[in-house]
Amino acid sequence: MPRKVRSIEELREVSNHLYYEIMMLVAVANGLALGIFGEGAVSNALLESFVVHVRAVMDFLYAPEKPQSADVIAEDFFQTSESWRQLRPSLSESLSQAKRRAGKEIAHLTYARLDVTPETKPWHFVQIASEISAVIDVFLQNVSKDKLGSQWQQPVEQPNTMLNTGAQKPRAG
């Protein structure tokens, strides 16, 4: 069954929610990379916030084959689903891994957490945010501007690549 075609008004309104997701993803990534909260519960809560926003934006950009009817996906903003699939970059290994880790290590209580080692536990906040921002840039370069809401008149914050982009704490879960 084909997806419902959304009105320009619906797309504008929901795009403001996308803007929020991206803004939060980048802001939390930058804050975590600075280490301003040290280690502990607050940093873990910020990590969980980061992961929730990563999942939301990743599901928007790289929707599953059969998304839920109420899910907002990038394809909704284009004439055909195939249009966006051809425009977007391939899913990188690091973004694929981040999406998998989000589900297995943060969003769901799984036995996969037992396989996480001290070496694999840290997250690469700035790298993940930078890769997602690059895909968002492709989206923004190709989407019809009349489908974007008022929030998009403001610049989108970018990941601070001057921050340490290596594996970073915290290590929730």
The pLDDT tens digits for 66-96 are 999 999 999 999 998 899 999 999 999 999 9
Inside any domain, residue 163: no
d(CA 43, CA 91): 28
Inside any domain, residue 22: yes
Both tokens of residue 48? 């969980």
Inside any domain, residue 107: yes
- What number is the average pLDDT over the span 34-46? 86
Inside any domain, residue 124: yes
Inside any domain, residue 161: no
When mean pLDDT is compared across 39-43, 64-68, 167-171, the lowest value belongs to 167-171
Both tokens of residue 172? 């929730």
pLDDT over 70 (residue 171): no
| Model confidence, pTM | 0.89
Tokens 């909704």 belong to 76
Q: What is the count of structural domains for the chain?
A: 1
What is the model's pLDDT at position 105? 87
* Full residue range of the structural domain in which residue 36 is found: 8-153
Inside any domain, residue 160: no
What is the model's pLDDT at position 167? 45
Query: Residue 96: how many CB atoms within 10 A of its CB?
Result: 13
pLDDT tens-digit readout, 89-124: 999 999 999 999 998 888 888 898 888 888 888 888
Both tokens of residue 149? 């809401």
Inside any domain, residue 158: no
